[in-house]
Structure 1
Amino acid sequence: MTIHTQPAAIGLPERLFIGGESVAGQGETFTVINPGTEAVVAKVAGASAAQVEAAIAAARQAYDSGVWSDLPALERAEALRRLMAYLFSQRERLVDLAVREAGCPISSGTMHAQVSTPLQHGLDVIDLFLKLPEFEENPIPFNERITARGGAIQSLRRYLPVGVVAAISAYNFPFYTNLWKVLPALITGNCVVLRPSPLTPLSALIFGEAAEAAGLPPGVLNVIAEAGAAGGVTLSTHPDVDMVAFTGSTAVGKQVMVQGADTMKRLQLELGGKSAQIYLLDAVAGAAAAAAQVCFAHAGQGCALGTRIFVPEADKAQAMEAMAAILARARIGDPADPETTVGPVVSAAQRDRCQRYVDLAVEAGARVVCGGKRPAGPDKGFYFEPTILDTPDNKNPAAQDEIFGPVVSVIGYGDLDHLVEMANDSEFGLSGYVNGKDIKQAIAVASRIRTGTININGGLLSAYASSGGWKSSGVGRERGVEGLRVYQQIQAMNIQGA
């Protein structure tokens, strides 16, 4: 499909979008900081409590009126393609924001996932939804299809929107996580209130511009920002909100579950991870790149990254030496510099968390192979050195807890049973990686790993394949058919001939 772009908007986005109108925030003003330079990127007037209520009310009224949910799917798709056309026209602006508010290095391969991938996924999810049936036959046996009087019964599953969706997104891939809540929710007929992380609100505000440019009916998409968490709490407790889609930490995800319980909200939660990156004996040479795959990927700020690296015990020392040699070539610096390969973490608090976990790991018996501290330079910015921990066992704090920074634990294993036992010894179950030349063996090991996604000799980031967490990594799925159906209710429809 050809995308007809519109002229790019000028300047930073700064206004909220409520009930079809671009409005100034009436709540607390907060500052967005460039994590690479500590410079002020923007000052955002956040939503007041009244504006949060107004956004929910606008979404509720729009949904209940049927102005969006009653539209034929093709008409919703046409409107959302206009929304995507606007977002495509803002690509350079979105890249700039990924650098300045999220701290992603501009030349990093991760930048593709920040902007280009979600832009394509937005179109793909529209196309995918249009291929899904609104009704499906229930597989009842033939004898139940005939009534006692000889009439026929048909039993169907009908898919309907959930209603009003609160979309609460994360800071590490802000545009990506915003889009992967807004687009599936809207194409399935829901109305949305989008509330981004206070650390990275600017790319979310562009969605308000896009909704206006696309001519979405008032209230169908609302975008608010805030300094704290009060609005997020309101969204996850309010009786007029039917569903919460949240990406963030497991600790906050548990709070969202509790907050939504009284009103029995539908939940889609993508939470923390501590994924195993496994190298079988016949593929251990590939482990040399394992630490770089984490640390060079947005400074390790990815919930699905393989931060626990498992190698055969006999090969551990050599593997860590090879990993450290690659990390020694890292260029730490301003994410706007094309030469930078490792940028900052998002905040001073997150940098301090990295240091705290390195210290805890060492206290518990780990050894710092390389990194392990704040670098000598740059003077400004929230940087932490790419770090390899020689971790004696999987019980170490650095192997059990999500750090969310450029820190990996390398763990040796004996036989495959020992490997699988350690890989599964985690409260998390978001993703995992198995590398092996013997494909049958690699699949056999992968099949034993308890995680929502398992990648064998590579990975896939597609709008057509879902992902989702097991255990403390969340509930529900994103992307794929399941990532659309999670925004729909099932109604059983049983029909007898008159």
Structure 2
Amino acid sequence: MTLEQHTHYVDGSWVTPLGTDRLEVVNPATEEVYGGIPDASAADVDRAVEAARVAFYDGDWRHWTPQARADVLVRVADELAKRNDDMAAVLTSEMGSPISQSRFGQIPVTIELLRYYTEQAGNYAWQTRKPSWDAANKGLDVVVQQEPVGVVGAITPWNGPQICTMMKVAPALLAGCTMVFKPAPEASLNFIGFAEAFEAAGLPPGVLNIVTGGAATGEHLVTHDDVDKVAFTGSVAVGRKIASLCAERLRPVTLELGGKSPALLLEDADVEQAVASLLVPMLFVSGQACNAPTRILAPRSRHAEVVDALVAAMDAIPLGDPTDPATGVGPMTSKAQRERVLGYIEVGKAEGAKVALGGGRPAGFDRGWYVDKTVFTDVDNSMRIAQEEIFGPVCAVIAYDGEDDGVRIANDSRLGLAGSVWTADPEHGFEVASRLRSGSLGVNAHGLDAAAPLAGMRDSGIGCERGIEAIDDYVSPKGILVPS
């Protein structure tokens, strides 16, 4: 079965591309062509941005009350739920996410994100009033309105395509913005159902527009004169380029970039419970998740115990066909990604780290972009495999000497996206977590929540996604002096 997309979703309709270029979509488990998408031209992007611009300035969307906008988004969530299984199947075929994760993780988390933001319509401070300060303004108050920033251009990744898209779409549309977004070419076909859900829910034309394409399409969107704000999820390298392009244009940008997240196991941690809990985010999308706990920090006295527990638990996770509901680890999304991960495994060996599990391509897989589940031990935090994001089913166990040393190692990274602390004393765990320089943290938990802000530190990004705080990135405060 193949799936060919021949149109873009612009101004509430499926429109024929103005260009003729196309991109193949290859199934990473079979290495066979699964489908194709239009590679949007500059003219295609221009048309989509114009639709968003007209919808923002000439349409009613930004003038609706937040609750009225939320009511439409509630219907969108319901429509997405109807399409859950179909979108999950496409997602698995085009980028290799194990079907159980696609069906019960990728799409449902997307829907819950949207439902969370619909609940914030009445909680966010869209307008506040306070006394003026200057003596010259005696008798006046200050009314602060949070105005939608305008047209948002978004570029989203292939690993959690709908989740990362909804982290932008939901707060932006609730705020009254309009949007054009470009999904990653490796994971664009699942957005056919996504767009259909918004259309069926009655979203006004032009409020949400989707164009597919490669890097040139994305750059034209980011640099378009009529885009007011950019949001991007992806690599640090591309994020730096986008930040530079936005800086030249004095354009606000939200960046959610890489991670090298530590899981700090304290001396009193329940190792079996910690390892069992950590495997879920560690191997989500076969290890291709930005918040994955890829650095396991263990007290030196318990290092061997942690390694043994991790190796046993990871070895038991089935690796194989992503369409099999029992599969926990599937292929890498692309051949290039597989080669990247295998390259880092060789770097780790060359640096002196020891392979406790895996360490290459799994036996019995002659086709498909698979990498074996891999655990490194005897890792020093200065090694590249401890400092650079690998984005595969690979983790490193690092020994530390004393709690302060563990905190030091956890913070010794240019990346600061997520992390966790594991202990029998949750109150002390909270104190330790508060010392970690990461944007999203947990005590005896390593995951994300719709209500918890995800604001990467250092090279992990700029701005915030998730939580009511993310709405701040899609509004601009307007102060109005009025008589008291």
Sort the TM-score into its range (normalised by shorter chain). over 0.9
1:34 aligns with one of 27, 34, 53:
27
Report the 3-state secondary structure (helix = DSSP H, G, I; strand = E; otherwise coil) of the residue aligned with 1:240. coil
CA apart distance, 1:245: 0.8
Report the 3-state secondary structure (helix = DSSP H, G, I; strand = E; otherwise coil) of the residue aligned with 1:495. strand
Q: Is 1:205 the equivalent of 2:197? A: no
Distance 1:320 1:290, change over 3 A: farther
CA apart distance, 1:408: 0.3
- Quick check: 2:440–2:452 contact (8 Å CA) kept in 1? no
- Quick check: 2:175–2:475 contact (8 Å CA) kept in 1? yes
Q: Is 1:268 the equivalent of 2:260? A: no
- In the aligned structure 2, how far is the partner of 1:77 from the partner of 1:294? 30
Amino acid at match of 1:214: A
Q: Is 1:16 the equivalent of 2:8? A: yes
1:432 aligns with one of 415, 419, 427:
419
Please name the residue that 2:105 is paired with.
113
Correspondence list, 1:67-466, <5 A? 67-108=60-101, 111-138=103-130, 144=133, 152-226=139-213, 228-283=214-269, 285-286=271-272, 287-289=274-276, 292-459=279-446, 461-466=448-453
- C-alpha offsets along residues 403-451 of structure 1, whole Å, 9 cap, x if unaligned? 0000001000001121111111100010111001122332222111111
Distance 1:27 1:67, change over 3 A: farther
Unpaired stretches in structure 2, ≥5 consecutive residues = none
Amino acid at match of 1:52: V
CA apart distance, 1:66: 3.8
Distance 1:154 1:295, change over 3 A: closer
CA apart distance, 1:291: 6.6
- C-alpha offsets along residues 116-173 of structure 1, whole Å, 9 cap, x if unaligned? 1211221221121232232123476xxx37758xx52212321000000011101101
- In the aligned structure 2, how far is the partner of 1:248 from the partner of 1:173? 11
- In the aligned structure 1, how far is the partner of 2:258 from the partner of 2:378? 21
Distance 1:441 1:295, change over 3 A: closer
Amino acid at match of 1:406: P
- C-alpha offsets along residues 273-311 of structure 1, whole Å, 9 cap, x if unaligned? 001011001015235437734553221111111100000
Q: How many residues align?
A: 481
Distance 1:161 1:182, change over 3 A: same
Report the 3-state secondary structure (helix = DSSP H, G, I; strand = E; otherwise coil) of the residue aligned with 1:101. helix
Percent identity (aligned): 37
- In the aligned structure 1, how far is the partner of 2:120 from the partner of 2:55? 25
- Quick check: 2:277–2:446 contact (8 Å CA) kept in 1? no
- In the aligned structure 2, how far is the partner of 1:418 from the partner of 1:234? 46
Please name the residue that 1:480 is paired with.
467
Amino acid at match of 2:54: Q
- In the aligned structure 2, how far is the partner of 1:89 from the partner of 1:172? 22
Unpaired stretches in structure 1, ≥5 consecutive residues = 1-9
CA apart distance, 1:45: 2.2
Moved more, 269-278 or 25-34: 25-34
Q: What is the TM-score of this pair, normalised by structure 2? A: 0.94
Q: What is the TM-score of this pair, normalised by structure 1? A: 0.92
- In the aligned structure 2, how far is the partner of 1:80 from the partner of 1:233? 29
